[in-house]
Amino acid sequence: MLKIYHSQGARSLRVLWLCEEMGVPYETAEASFFKPSDEFKTVNPLRTVPAMQDGDVSMIESVAMMIYIIAKHGPTDLEVKPSEPGYADYLQYLMFGEAGLAVYGNPLVATRFLAPAEQKENYTAGYLKSAILKRLEFVGQRLNGKPYVAADRFTAADISVAYIATGAKFAGIEDEIPAPVKSYIENLWQRPAYQRAAAVK
């Protein structure tokens, strides 16, 4: 069974949500930032969350875990195939959720909680915040009122992108998410699979 090293509100949410949508069984293990267990440190010497083990396989990138789980436990409509319209959008937004959005949040969160007071509002923090908000505006424009980012259906790309709302809370910018993107994500949050995943401690 998949073992997912999880911390509530971390990117492990993407992996749990995907498993819940697909009905893939998994177990979780605590991945604490402050008191990492020896087991977690062995699986992920970087100590970033999530990590995943599947037998002898260990992984530390949430979107790669999603691709792995889809490939191993699919087929699923959460994936868009190369033959389908929307394939390029699917790939793009699956990656964009992390590489174009969430990754900008890490240094912002670190600055918010760990930087000395006089550095909390520094140039880099301002840059990161505007980089995230600019990219969210881009997502809102691309959605143009549609409920999903690719292929006119709910896919893993939506799971990837929607994580930014959770990350934005830690970064203290959740109130600045553009309204169209906020409603897009709040609509995704109605899904029972999301709610089960979000409730996992």
Ligand X SMILES: N[C@@H](CCC(=O)N[C@@H](CS)C(=O)NCC(=O)O)C(=O)O
Contact residues: ligand X, CB under 6 A: 10-11, 48-50, 61-63, 98, 106
Q: Which of residues 1 and 99 has its CB atom nearest to ligand X in the complex?
A: 99
Which CB sits closer to ligand X, 72 or 81? 72
CB of 141 to ligand X, least distance (A): 24
Considering the complex, what minimum distance in angstroms separates the CB of residue 48 from ligand X?
3
Residue number with CB closer to ligand X (153 or 169): 169
What six digits make up the tokens of 88? Answer: 């390029």
- Are 43 and 5 contacting, i.e. CB atoms less than 8 angstroms apart? yes
CB of 63 to ligand X, least distance (A): 6
Complex with ligand X: residue 106 or 183, whichever CB lies closer: 106
CB of 70 to ligand X, least distance (A): 16
Residue 161: CB minimum distance to ligand X, A: 13
Q: Tell me whether residue 72 or residue 146 sits nearer to ligand X (CB atom).
A: 72
